[in-house]
Amino acid sequence: MVSLSLLRKTVYNSYGFLNQTVPIILGEKNAKFLHNKTMSNNWSHLSRDSYEGHFACGGNCYLLSYYLKKNEIKTTIMKKSIGYGKYLEDHCYLLYNDSIIIDPTYRQFYSSLISKQNEYSNILFKQLDFAFIGTLEQFKIQHQMLCDKYEETYGHTIDVDTSDFWENPKNISHQMDLDYLIKNPKICKKKGKLYFQLCDYLHDNPI
């Protein structure tokens, strides 16, 4: 078991890796889609202070799990779904030691009305880390703080609750097969073009 400070440092250092690899697995040409338009000054300055991972939780968790494993930190990937049919929504995050949430895309749920930088946007993107790391109870406290500030700033409520995506999830760690695919390029190629491109990149750029 690693210390919380080492875990935070390792996740913090994963930013460049995620910025490079998530676009590959999701078939995007660059990393702009992972960043908030306002906080990146119309995508001219991409950084941890603009990263939100909109609609990219699966790719982020798939690759962050691999990155952490290469740094000898084992995690499980958790998934929670709500709704059904065309209204089905889901979200993924990592869990360390069965108690510590690691969520590299939590900001996407709190940024919908940000059109200019203000106190609220600075709290979300500059004061808070790009990835949440902590217990569920700590996440609930942060969630309530952001909800209160959001309503104070915009006059609207955040349309998500911790019970929607962060409570009672399912373990889908059996899908974390990147190590295996890199070691077996023929199988990787059969899985699809994007996986093959990712494995090729990681073969040439090992952690």
Instruction: Judge whether 190 lies within some domain.
Output: no
Report how far Cα 176 is from the mean position of its chain's Cα atoms.
15
Exposed/middle/buried for residue 181 (C-beta within 10 Å: 0-12, 13-18, 19+): buried
DSSP 151-204: HHHHSS--S--HHHHSSS-EE-GGG--HHHHHH-HHHHHHH-HHHHHHHHHHHH
Q: pLDDT tens digit string along 151-166?
A: 999 999 999 999 999 9
Q: Quick one: DSSP state of residue 35?
A: B
Q: pLDDT tens digit string along 6-22?
A: 999 999 999 999 999 99
Instruction: Judge whether 168 lies within some domain.
Output: yes
Instruction: Judge whether 200 lies within some domain.
Output: no
What are 22's two structure tokens?
A: 């998530």
DSSP 67-99: HHHHTT--EEEEEEEES-GGG-EEEEEEEETTT
Domain of 13, in residue numbers:
4-176
Q: What is the pLDDT at residue 84?
A: 85
Q: What is the pLDDT at residue 87?
A: 85
Q: pLDDT tens digit string along 18-66?
A: 999 999 999 999 999 999 999 999 999 999 999 999 999 999 999 999 9
Helix (H) or strand (E) holding 49: none
**Mean pLDDT computed over 166-188:** 95
User: In total, how many domains does the chain have?
Assistant: 1
3-state secondary structure of 51: strand
Instruction: Judge whether 141 lies within some domain.
Output: yes
Q: What is the pLDDT at residue 81?
A: 94
CA atoms in the 13 A half-sphere facing the CB of 25: 21
**Mean pLDDT computed over 168-193:** 95
Instruction: Judge whether 199 lies within some domain.
Output: no
Instruction: Judge whether 207 lies within some domain.
Output: no
Instruction: Judge whether 196 lies within some domain.
Output: no
Q: What is the pLDDT at residue 56?
A: 97
Alpha carbons 57 and 65: distance in angstroms, whole number: 12
Q: pLDDT tens digit string along 55-104?
A: 999 999 999 999 999 999 999 999 999 998 888 999 999 999 999 999 99
**Mean pLDDT computed over 109-127:** 97
* Phi, psi of 197, rounded to the nearest 5 degrees: -65, -40
Q: What is the pLDDT at residue 9?
A: 98
User: Is the distance from CB of 107 to CB of 32 less than 8 angstroms?
Assistant: no
Q: What is the pLDDT at residue 85?
A: 86
Instruction: Judge whether 126 lies within some domain.
Output: yes
